[in-house]
Structure formats: C-alpha cells, structure tokens
Amino acid sequence: MQAFDLYAILPELVLLLATCLLLVASVYVRERVPSTPGVEQDIFHTPRGVGFVYFFSIILLGYLIFAFVGRLGDVSLVAMNGLFQSDPLSNLLKACACGAVLVSLIYSKRYLQDRALFRPDFIVLALLALLGQMVLISGANLLTLYLGLELMALPTYALVAMRHNSEKSVEAGIKYFVLGALASGFLLYGMSMLYGVTGSLDLIEIFKTVADPRVNHLVMAFGLVFIVSGLAFKLGVVPFHMWVPDVYQGAPTAVTLMIAAAPKLAAFALLFRLLVNTLLPLMGDWQPMLVLLAVLSLVLGNVTAIAQTNVKRMLAYSAIAQMGFVLLGMLSVFDDHAFSASMFYVITYVMTTLGTFGLLMVLSRKGYDCETLEGLKGLNKKHPWFAFIGLVMMFSLAGIPPTVGFAAKLGVLEALVDAEHTFLAIIAVMASLIGAFYYLRVVKVMYFDEPVHEVTVSGSGFAKGLLSLNAILVLVIGIVPAGLMTICLDAMRRTLLGS
C-alpha cells in the first residue's frame, strides 16, 4: 500500500475502526431487563451508555464532513490498484451523506428513546450502512461497487426489522430483504455478463472495451438490461417500486429517514459510475430504458400518491416520482450541466426529506406515531412555526418557488430542453402539477382543518433548532441556488475531466 492509497481511504478507515470500537464497546453497555414475569417487553440500555455511543458518533460524523469538504479541491485519483477512486464528485456526495446521517441521528433521538429503540446497535448499524454508501460512491471496480452496495443494504434490512414487536416492521424488513436480494442478483448477473464480454472488472478498462465496435453487442445489451433493472430496484422507480411504500410505512419513522435520505446519494453515484463512467458508449441502448423508467415513475408515483392518507406512504410514492426527475437529468449527451443538475436535484431532495421526516418525528410522542393526515390537522393553530416548516417542505417537494425544489426542477427541465427532449419536459411539468395536489392537501390540512386530537411537539431543543435551520436552508438555497449549483457543476466537470 502506497501513501496516496492510505490518503484516499483514510476517512473510510477511520469510520470502519470507530464503528468496530463502538460495536465492541456496546457489549459492555449495561442493560436493564424488565422483571415482570410473563410479560414480553423490549430490552433497553441505560441512557448513560447509549449517550456515550451517540455523542461519539456525532463527533465522528462531524469530523468526516469536514474531512470530505476539505477534499473538494483535490484532484481525481484512483487508489488500491484500481479498486477505489477519490474525486470531487465522490467527496461532495460523501460529505452530504455524512451530513444526512448526522441530521437523521439528531432528529431521531427522542423518537427512538420513546420506543425503546435508542440502543448502540441502532447507531452502529446506521454507521455501517454509511460506510457501505461511502465505498459505493467511490467504487472504481465492479467488485467494489457490489461490496459497497451490500454493505449499505444489509445493515438497513436489520434496521427496518429492529422493532421486532411490530408485525408491520418485521413484514417490511422481510419484503425489503427479499426484494433487495433479488435486485442485487439482477445487478450481479449483469456485472458478470459485462465481465464475460470485456474480461475485466475495472470500470476504465470496461469503458475502453465497450467502445470497441468488435465487442459482442448482444451479450452487452442483455447485461445492460440486468444492470438497469438492478439500478431501478435500488432507486425505487417504476416498475421496480413495489417495496418502497410498504417499507416506508412499516419501518419506524427514524429508520424510514435512514432509507429515504443518504442512500439516495449512493444510488445516484452508482447510476453515474455504471452508466456514465463505464457504459457511456452504449448510451443509445440505456437512454430509452431510462426514459421509460422516468416517465412511468413520474406518472404512477404522483397519481398513486393522491389516494394515500398515510403520510409516510404518500412520501414513498413522492420519492418514486422524485427519482423519475433524477433519471431525466441523465439523458443529455455527455453534458456536465445536465449531470450536475441531476446531482443538485438529489442533494436538495435529501435536504427536504430530512426536514419532512424530522417534522413527523417531532410531532410524534410516546405511544403515538404521527403518520396520517389526521395527525397534522390543525397544526397551525397549536404550533404555527412547525406548520410553517411543514409548508416549506411541501412547497419544496412540489417545486413551488421560492423553495429549493423549484430551482432543482427548473435545472433538470432546462437540461431536458437544451438536449431537445422538450416532450419529456412537458410530461415532467404535467406530472409535477398532479403532484402539487397532494402536497398542497397537506398544507390545507395543517392550516385550515380543525385538530381532531391533541397536537404536541416533542424532541430536544437542539433537534427543533436544527429542524428550523433545515427549513431556512431550503428557503435560502431556493432563493440563492447559484452557490450549491456551482459546487455541483465544478465537482461534476472536474470528475468527468479526471476520468
């Protein structure tokens, strides 16, 4: 191992070692077992021990964010004998992923405490999933990509089913595991066909071989179908979306946030690494597939969300439609502006998702989960500031100015028009108009309906302050989006030049 190899993987090594130490330390955290005979209850850890693991994790994630932000100006390099790449795109996405997990843990603390889920194993599993996301984002080899994908997925399966006394949670965990394994199989089979044709697992070598006109195009096309299908499963787009609503609804809200936020950044990186960095010469084959997946996701996701009364299930179908927009940004012919618009979209979507689920957790309390529209009724009469936060998040998801969601959608639509995909831009606008209905319905419920039961706000002052800052950022970046857009464009341009 050379010095630049160690430098490239240093943040991942720090996260791995720290997570392993926390895992070992959690064995010595004292537990208290309810002594009531014949009553099955959860085992929960003493707050002092869990507090140490939680505090250490917050410090660790803060360090990782600063480490990756400090690397944004670095040149692209491939380390570990071509297995791992560190470039501006990966550093930006990893900084955002660490920030998303950090915010998720802060929002989730009181929610988990009220449900006896605030345990070291929850935090360790979240950190292991983050490690998988970081490996996936920097994968320069098919094996590295697959390793990162599985390292991200396996802890998430356990998180979904962690509330073992809930039938919905266990059912969601089983569905997620079975369908996730199927998606991994699709992806692995497609990768094996790529290897069979090109004779290499290295993304750069595959790119060079695929560009050769003498390559077996039929086998490559079959492999491409399996790869795109596997990617569609991981993104949760139609028709590979069947797991998304059930998992979003069945998992505890804190776990749903872990699924809905940071993994979307890793899924975008996987999409970029495989289709743009590796299979760009086959753009004529995979572009029509993405068009079909994007249009189906936009239409079906928005139309189906209208019928939902469960907010988490509605947000699941919303996520399907939002991922359709991300796919639309990948349709331009080697256009760094379009790719950066897609990356800007997914980063701002994660930011909005954090605020949306953070609000649901703040409005939940012990013995009650705020998951339905009834739970939001009359919120403005009791807590006007939190109703305003909900309004900002819904407006951003709907793409209404001056929120960041409007700037993100406008960037993707601009890229579509520039690439002469005007018809797709019209479909995207019409689908967004349909989606605005169910987002505005949430606003109407919060502002104009009478509360049907007591509306309370829980969570620490720090979590509430962070939630407020989250809403302010959604507004400020929506009004002045140039800064983040420039960062995304610069990272994308330098990554493409480096590759």
CA distances 58 to 100, 137, 167, 304, Å, are: 12, 21, 31, 38
Residue 369: how many other CB atoms lie within 10 Å: 17
- Measured at the alpha carbon of residue 398, what is the angle toward residues 394 and 401, in degrees to the nearest 5? 90
Token pair in block for residue 395 = 């407006």
* Local confidence pLDDT in tens for the 499 residues of the chain: 677 778 888 999 999 999 988 888 777 756 454 444 444 444 444 445 677 788 899 999 999 999 999 998 888 888 888 889 888 999 999 999 999 999 999 999 898 888 888 888 899 999 999 999 999 999 889 999 999 999 999 999 999 988 888 888 888 888 899 888 888 888 999 999 888 888 888 888 888 888 777 777 788 888 888 998 888 888 888 888 888 899 998 889 999 999 998 899 999 999 999 888 888 888 888 888 899 999 999 999 999 999 888 899 999 999 999 999 999 888 865 567 888 889 999 999 999 999 999 999 998 888 788 888 888 888 888 889 999 999 999 999 999 989 999 999 999 999 888 888 889 999 999 999 999 999 999 999 999 888 877 777 877 788 899 999 999 999 999 999 999 999 999 988 888 876 5
Instruction: Let me know if 474 is exposed, middle or buried by CB neighbors in 10 A (0-12, 13-18, 19+).
Output: buried
Three-class secondary structure assignment of 3-18: HHHHHHHHHHHHHHHH
Dihedral sign, Cα of residue 355, residue 135, residue 175, residue 168: negative
- Are the beta carbons of 112 and 7 closer than 8 angstroms? no
Calculate the alpha carbon distances from 294 to 168, 174, 237, 262, 377 in Å.
Answer: 29, 27, 7, 21, 33
State the amino acid at position 497 in one-letter form: L
Nearest to 439 by CA among 348, 368, 356: 356
346 three-class SS: helix
Name the pairing type of β-strands 77-79 and 84-86.
antiparallel
The structure's pTM equals 0.91
